Amino acid sequence: MARAHVTFADSDVAGRGHAAYAAEIMDHPDIPSRDTHQSATFDGGFMLECGVALPSVTVAYSTYGALNAARSNAVLVCHALTGDQYVAERHPGTGKPGWWSQVVGPGRPVDTDRFFVICANVLGGCMGSTGPSSPRTDGPGASAPLDTLQWGTDFPPVTIRDMVRAQRLLIGHLGISRLFAALGGSMGGMQVLEWAATFPDMVFAAVPVATASFHSAQNIAFHEVGRQAIFADPDWAGGEYWRHDKIPARGLAVARMAAHITYLSEQALTRKFGRRLQTPVAGVTSMFGDMFEVESYLRHQGSAFVDRFDANSYLTITRAMDYFDLAADHDGDLAQAFRGTATRFCIASFDSDWLFPTAQSRAIARALNRAGANVSFVEIASDKGHDAFLLDEPDFHRTLSGFLSGCAEHAGL
C-alpha cells in the first residue's frame, strides 16, 4: 500500500536558459524561476504499465470549492497535453488566468459553490508531478551532484492509464471514495474515458469532450513532427540539456507551432488573420522582412510555450497519447470497455474540429449504447476548431451546465 504525504515542493519551471531564443520572437515578462506546487507523494513503489516501478510518485494538484460532509460532490478535471493543474486560478509562472476559468468557478458550468473541483498535473508532467525533470534517487547517476539528478530521457514511458492510476491515489488521499464527475477535453477526455473504463464504480458522471478512444495515425504523425523538431535542436544534447543549463528552445517552439495549427480551424485562422501583413520594419528588404500576422501569432505561441514547458515532458506526454487505444485491451471492442457501467455520459464534439473530429465522438457514443450505458451526445457548431472547448462557447457551456445539474439532481446533491 502506497503511503502518502502532502508537500509544497519546489519544482523548476521549464524555460530557464531560453532567453536568447525568446528575444528573437517577442519581449517577455519576467517569469519566476521557481514555483511552489501543492502535491501529495506516495511512497512504496508505483508500477507502470511498461513494467518499470517508480520508487515513489508525486502528484501536484489544485482544488477549488469545498468538499461536502458526505464527500460526494467531487469533480475531477483532467487537463490536456499542454495544460496543468491551474485550471481556475492565475498561473504562478506565467501570470495568466487559469486555462478553464470560463468553465470552472463560482456560478460557472462547473460551479465551485456546489462542487469540490480537483485538477492534477499528469504523471510525466512538469508542473510538480513526477516526470522527466523530477529528481532521480535511484539507478545510474543517483550519486551525481544534486543539480544533475533529473530523470531526463531515462524516465520510463507512461500511459494514459498510468496517469489515471496516479490520480486515483490522489483521490483516495483526499478521502474521496467516488467522484461525482470526471471531465476533460482532448487528452483530458482520454483520461475521462480511462477513468470510466478502469474505475467505473468511482465515477457517477463522465464528460469526455473533443476526444477519441484511440489516437489516430494522423495525430501520431503530427506528434512525430514535433518530436523530431526537438531532437534536431542543437541544444537538445541527447535529452540532457539541463546539464548544460540550456533547453532545446527552437525545437520545442517549432513543435508547439506545428501542434497549435491542428488546434485551430481554417475558418478561425482566416477570420483572425487572413493574409494580412504586419507593418514592415523600416529598412528591411529581405524576403522574410515582412511577416504575415499568422506567422507572428505562431511564433508568439512557440516562444511563450518554452517559458513554461519541459521538452522531455512534451516527448513523454505526446507518446502517452500515441499509445492510447482503449479498445485494444478489450479484443478490439470498445463496448466491452464499458459493459455494465452505471456511469452517466455526456459526449461533446465540435463540428470544425479536424484533430478529433465528430466521427470519433460518435463512435464512442455508439459503443456506449451497445454497452447499455446512459449516454447523451452533442455536436456543437463552432468555427474555432479543436480549441473550442477552451474558449467562449455558450452552447457548450449550457450543455455542460445542464448535464451536471441533471446528474447532481439524480445524485441527490
Give the three-state DSSP class for 367: helix
What is the Cα–Cα distance from 170 to 129, expressed in whole angstroms?
11
On whether the CB atoms of residues 205 and 181 are closer than 8 A, the answer is yes
Cell digits for 331?
479484443
Cell digits for 189?
477526455
What is the Cα–Cα distance from 136 to 37, expressed in whole angstroms?
18
Catalytic residue among 84, 353, 361, 382: 353
Cα R_g (the chain), whole angstroms: 21
CA-wise closest residue to 157 among 309, 46, 317: 317
On whether the CB atoms of residues 378 and 358 are closer than 8 A, the answer is no
Active site residue 37: no
Catalytic residue among 35, 173, 386, 387: 386
What is the Cα–Cα distance from 315 to 224, expressed in whole angstroms?
9
Residues in CB range of 290: below 8 A, 6 or more apart: 277, 278, 280, 284
CA-wise closest residue to 118 among 56, 188, 27, 20: 188
Q: Can you list the alpha helix ranges (DSSP code H) found in 278-393?
A: 293-305, 311-323, 358-370
Could you give the angle at the alpha carbon of 67 between the alpha carbons of 64 and 68, nearest 5°? 140
Q: Label residue 287 exposed, middle or buried (CB < 10 Å: 0-12, 13-18, 19+).
A: exposed
What is the Cα–Cα distance from 255 to 318, expressed in whole angstroms?
11
* Residue 348, beta-bridge partner list: 209, 378
CA-wise closest residue to 407 among 212, 207, 164, 177: 207
Catalytic residue among 72, 133, 186, 349: 186
Active site residue 376: no
- The DSSP letter of residue 88 is S
Cell digits for 147?
543539480
Active site residue 386: yes
The catalytic site residues sit at 186, 353, 386
